[in-house]
């Protein structure tokens, strides 16, 4: 590896699984001290063990990012350990599979209750707000920082269902642009990766669609799902100094799905 984020402290949410775990491992490989955040201690411990086995440096903190107190606690613990936060990659969130755990949460507007609306927005959007509100002042004091939010191509276009999910991801994109316009003067860049279909637990139950060549081609010109590692490379680029003139970028990594729009 090339040490593209060597010497930096990277706070990465969703680090226990999927894209977040891929970022946690890749950023460590590229020289960062990584702080992994997630809901489940066991999966976080697995991620940390993989990083340590490769010689990486890091720590993990279990937290509920929809709760402001938890977010403040994890930021304080990171500062206590490392003294700074150079990078925030916010990859935590729920998607299609959440509908299996929480029936009704991935419905359309007319069949979504206020309870389910609040639930999904709390996990996907409030978490982004709480994290950025806590981390940006740290970066302002440092005079430099990089924020990468992980949204979805679903936030860029309409979906026939999962309306609350779509709304939350669209809001993350808008928040990213607003932050980019506001905090560039403080040396803080804010960008966003918008994954397409990615082979993670979030959509694993519907991955069978790629076994049908016609359906696969309808989903994306590349006829396959992306990998978490492919999404992590996009996050790494935007977080690194290689992207020093990237601010307010919304980067689809989707095999060409949105190219048809």
End-to-end CA distance of the chain: 36
Q: Of 165, 197, 233, 245, which is the active-site residue?
A: 165
Lookup: tokens for 210: 């790629």
Asked about 233 being catalytic, the answer comes back as: no
Bridge partners (DSSP) of residue 60 are: 36
Long-range CB pairs of 96-104 (<8 Å, 24+ gap) are 96/162, 96/165, 96/202, 96/203, 96/205, 96/206, 97/201, 97/202, 97/203, 97/204, 97/205, 98/123, 98/165, 98/202, 99/162, 100/205
Residue among 235, 38, 57 nearest 149 (CA): 235
Give catalytic residue positions.
165
């Amino acid at each position: 590896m090339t040490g593209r984020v060597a010497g930096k402290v990277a706070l990465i949410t969703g680090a226990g699984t999927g894209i977040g775990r891929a970022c946690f491992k890749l950023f460590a490989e590229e020289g960062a001290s990584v702080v992994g955040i997630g809901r489940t201690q066991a999966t976080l411990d697995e991620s940390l063990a993989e990083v340590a086995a490769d010689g990486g440096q890091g720590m993990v903190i279990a937290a509920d990012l929809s709760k402001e107190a938890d977010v403040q606690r994890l930021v304080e613990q990171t500062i206590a350990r490392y003294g700074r936060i150079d990078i925030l990659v916010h990859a935590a969130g729920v998607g299609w599979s959440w509908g299996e755990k929480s029936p009704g949460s991935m419905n359309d507007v007319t069949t979504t209750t206020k309870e389910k609306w609040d639930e999904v927005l709390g996990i996907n959007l409030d978490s982004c707000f709480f994290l950025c509100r806590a981390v940006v002042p740290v970066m302002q004091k440092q005079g430099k920082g990089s924020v990468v939010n992980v949204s979805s191509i679903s936030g860029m276009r309409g979906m026939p269902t999962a309306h609350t999910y779509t709304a939350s991801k669209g809001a993350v994109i808008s928040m990213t642009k607003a932050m980019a316009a506001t905090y560039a003067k403080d040396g803080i860049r804010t960008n966003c990766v918008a994954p397409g279909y990615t082979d993670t637990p979030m959509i694993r139950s519907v991955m069978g669609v790629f076994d049908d060549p016609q359906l696969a081609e309808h989903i994306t010109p590349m006829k396959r799902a992306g990998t978490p590692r492919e999404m992590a490379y996009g996050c790494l680029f935007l977080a690194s100094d290689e992207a020093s003139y990237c601010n307010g970028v919304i980067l689809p990594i989707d095999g060409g799905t949105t190219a048809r729009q």
